[in-house]
């Protein structure tokens, strides 16, 4: 199967976005010293 440059770029961009979201959540948790910051954090 052939993988195009566009497919690789999309996969990398998607991965970076997910990691940035995880980092932001971790930073908020550390800054506020709370595990649950908003109601949607724990359903």
Contact residues for 30 (Cβ-Cβ < 8 A; gap 6+): none
In this predicted structure, the answer to whether residue 18 has a pLDDT above a threshold of 90 is yes
Residue with the larger pLDDT of the pair 33 and 9: 9
Inter-CA distances, 1 with 7, 15, 24, 37, Å: 12, 21, 35, 44
**% of the chain residues with pLDDT over 70:** 100
Task: Render pLDDT for 25-40 as a digit per residue (tens, 0 to 9).
Answer: 999 999 998 888 788 8
Tell me the two tokens of residue 25.
């959540």
pTM of the model: 0.72
Query: Confidence band (pLDDT; 50, 70, 90) for 10?
Result: very high
């Amino acid at each position: 199967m052939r993988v195009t440059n566009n497919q690789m770029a999309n996969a990398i961009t998607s991965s970076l976005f997910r990691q940035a979201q995880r980092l932001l959540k971790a930073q908020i948790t550390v800054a506020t010293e709370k595990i649950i910051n908003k109601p949607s954090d724990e359903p």
